[in-house]
Amino acid sequence: MSLRELRLKRGMTQQQLADKIGVTQQRIASFETGQRPIGGMSLDVALRFCDALKISNPRKLLDDSEPSKEQVSDR
């Protein structure tokens, strides 16, 4: 499940998530669009994402974080 899907599943906007974890809305957007790789975020930020999104396993953030071949070719 993508970061966007996890956020929407919790009924949060990008701004609400950003406020909850202490980053900017633009940073959330860049993680969701793949401009900033999720695998490159710090452990601290990853744990804050997990707390905010009620994810028990931080590896779930990495699930589906790699853009598919279709997404890459569309850019």
pLDDT in tens, 10-54: 999 999 999 999 999 999 999 999 999 988 888 899 999 999 999
Whole-structure pTM value: 0.78
> Which of 60, 73, 46, 74 minimizes the C-alpha distance to 5?
60
Is pLDDT above 80 for 75? no
**pLDDT band at residue 65 using 50, 70 and 90 as cut-offs:** low
